[in-house]
Structure 1
Amino acid sequence: MTLTSAGSLTGQSFQAFLEELHRKYQPLTDGAIANYIPELAKADPDCFGICVVTKDGHVYEVGNTQTLFTIQSISKVFVYGMALQDHGRDYLLTRVGVEPTGDAFNAIILDEQSKRPYNPMVNAGAIAVTSLIKGTGPTERLNRMLDMFRDFIGHDIFVDVSVFMSERTTGHRNRAMAHLMRNFGMIDDRIDEALDLYFQQCSVTVDCRDLAVMAATIANHGINPITHTQALDSGYIRDLLSVMYTCGMYNFAGQWSHEVGLPAKSGVSGGIMVVVPNQFGLAVFSPPLDARGNSVRGIEVCKEISNHYGLHLFDSSMNCTRFVQQLGTKPHGIDGNSNGDGKGIGTLSD
């Protein structure tokens, strides 16, 4: 089953392929659940979901796609987009760079020359970005952020207070980063307020299907494919995709770009969100992580999907347009029949 074989790819065959991947990698037990945030250590290592949402709103899913978890570092992509809309590209570049780094996501380090965080996908850069969100006070800034996530997802979301308090209690490295950036003028003196908002954004609850819709919204030029809401100005989509491609997978970003070749972002709760620009979004949820903080099952699934269908951005055989055209004829999951919570219900059929 390849993209270049006429008539070989249908929505049903793609659904079967996802189910085959799920069966193949469910027994994989490599990796360990994140425990440096106590609440994250409670995750079920057997949870495993895969979801694809096309830019036309068709959904293919298998496994635990509606199990809630906290978004963690995947939130950095969307808050970065929000800050770009609040301040513009040029100003944001004075506070945070766009260079990849070989250091861990929680390294206490700044660029030696500019004193900026290296990029918005590492913790230091994300804290700097979060500190720039506009609002007259903490409540307004949080509400604006939640409204932004709602536009991307298509339904109301909330902050997991237990995870937020756990992050707040144990977030000493993040506090060290914030004070270092304050010393060099990268953030202002509202350090505790910025950190609280950062911990709250990481504690927003989503499921695998939500992540796939969010990825599809980026793929669809900032327009949510389910609600048709413009969640982000299309002019900033290139910024999100660029930093996701070069920096989204922590210090695995180079190997990811080489093997998978798609913009992506991972989080330590076990989510991976992947964007195929102009085509669809992919999300995988599985809590056990490798040494770099990326979902073990998630990486394997994304490698197989990219390689099997030739989705690497630099693959000369890529034919994503035809791929999605055929997928779009066989919707599964969301088909426009709303059940009242922004998530439609449908089935796969011939």
Structure 2
Amino acid sequence: MESHLSAALEYARSFLHEGAVATYIPELAKGDPTQLGAAIYAADGEIYRVGDWQQEFTIQSISKTITLILALQLAGYRKVFSKVGVEPTGDPFNSIVRLETTAPRPLNPMINAGAIATASCCMGGRDAFSEFLKLTRRLCGRSSISLNEEVYRSEKQAGMRNRSMAYLMQSDNLLECDAEDALDLYFRMCSVNVNTMDLARYGMVLAGNGKDPETGEQLVEGWIVRIVKTLMVTCGLYDASGEFAMKVGIPAKSGVGGGIMGSVERKMGVAAFSPGLDAKGNSVGAFHMLEYLSHHLGLHYFAGSECRV
């Protein structure tokens, strides 16, 4: 496994020049596009790491999977999916067009509008961010995970497009709270610092049907895990989800902080990181690392007897 990880690192490094750090959030523009790392948390408890695996970065849209888990736990299936749909869009993650041209309800929880609507379902008079942070720490297995204040303030100041979506949804009575409250929670959720080891462990929780890989405790109900992994397959890499499904073939979620978290059923959680993004907002280096690992380890959902893990 270590040799495969090292080979994946070298393979992906040759593509780093194709990516560029996100600049629409000023703090993210400070990222180092040469950084590249990955981690694997296997079902047998073995851990494998390579490159800049310890480098912290903001979770960004990978948080949308945890937001969905929390919303389903707190508000229930009926409430959440009265606010957001489950269909892929084929549009960029920050597109606003379908809120007016198709339906006021966002098409899925993995795009920005859908995540803001989902976040609003977590409010209910409680300290929703504290609940989110507690859940994130349990899923990732690290109690020191915390908010990146600089990125949070940068996102809040620069997030005019997200603000437009939120107010449009509020005008259609879709949000469960005031638009600014939903936005503040959403910006905080996206601005939590993690590393690849954190996300690999979270991926293993999903791969193990919601159970803590160390204690066996049920952290997330099985029916919620099924929903989250299904949406990761169909919507997890925005309008590149189809390409990722063909080339990598595992449930995964990306974020503009440079991370991609993946889950291989009953076998492993895997995460890769590199700040340089492609035109669709997905990490170039992380995408190619997971592509290499999928091919050489037979991780694709349709690998069948070729799976070598």
Answer yes or no: same fold by TM over 0.5: yes
Given candidates 132, 137, 150, the residue that maps to 1:145 is 132
Aligned runs of 1:94-109 on 2, under 5 Å? 94-108=82-96, 109=98
Question: Which ranges in structure 1 are unaligned for 5 or more consecutive residues?
Answer: 1-13, 324-350
TM-superposed CA distance for 1:54, in Å, is 1.3
Q: 1:89-128 deviations in whole A, cap 9, x for unaligned?
A: 2222111000001110000132755421010000000000
Q: 1:194-220 deviations in whole A, cap 9, x for unaligned?
A: 100100000000001111011111111
Query: What percentage of aligned pairs have identical amino acids?
Result: 42
TM-superposed CA distance for 1:57, in Å, is 2.4
1:72–1:201 Cα contact (<8 Å) kept:
yes
Task: Provide the residue aligned with 2:117 in structure 1.
Answer: 128
Q: Does 1:283 align with 2:271?
A: yes
Instruction: Decide which structure has the larger Cα Rg and report it.
Output: 1
Given candidates 6, 24, 29, the residue that maps to 1:41 is 29
Considering fraction of residues, name the structure with more helix: 2
TM-superposed CA distance for 1:301, in Å, is 1.3
TM-superposed CA distance for 1:319, in Å, is 3.3
Which letter maps to 1:22?
A: L
Number of residue equivalences: 306
Q: Does 1:31 align with 2:42?
A: no
TM-superposed CA distance for 1:229, in Å, is 4.0
Q: Does 1:119 align with 2:119?
A: no
Q: 1:247-275 deviations in whole A, cap 9, x for unaligned?
A: 00000011111221111100001101111
Q: 1:164-206 deviations in whole A, cap 9, x for unaligned?
A: 0000000000000001111211104511111001000000000
2:19–2:33 Cα contact (<8 Å) kept:
no
For 2:240 and 2:151, the matched residues in 1 are separated by 26
Task: Provide the residue aligned with 1:326 in structure 2.
Answer: none
For 1:135 and 1:246, the matched residues in 2 are separated by 29
TM-superposed CA distance for 1:55, in Å, is 2.5
Deviates more, 1:219-228 or 1:108-117: 108-117
Deviates more, 1:163-172 or 1:182-191: 182-191
Q: 1:142-180 deviations in whole A, cap 9, x for unaligned?
A: 111111111101122110000000000000000000011
2:43–2:213 Cα contact (<8 Å) kept:
yes
Question: Which ranges in structure 2 are unaligned for 5 or more consecutive residues?
Answer: none
Task: Provide the residue aligned with 1:298 in structure 2.
Answer: 286
Q: Does 1:67 align with 2:55?
A: yes
Deviates more, 1:53-62 or 1:220-229: 220-229
Q: Does 1:274 align with 2:257?
A: no
Q: Does 1:218 align with 2:206?
A: yes
Given the two structures, how large is their TM-score scaled by the length of structure 1?
Answer: 0.84
Task: Provide the residue aligned with 1:154 in structure 2.
Answer: 141
Provide the alpha-carbon RMSD of the alignment.
Answer: 1.5
2:248–2:290 Cα contact (<8 Å) kept:
yes
| SS of aligned partner of 2:270 | strand
Task: Provide the residue aligned with 2:299 in structure 1.
Answer: 311
TM-superposed CA distance for 1:318, in Å, is 4.1
| SS of aligned partner of 2:99 | coil
For 1:172 and 1:268, the matched residues in 2 are separated by 17
Q: Does 1:78 align with 2:66?
A: yes
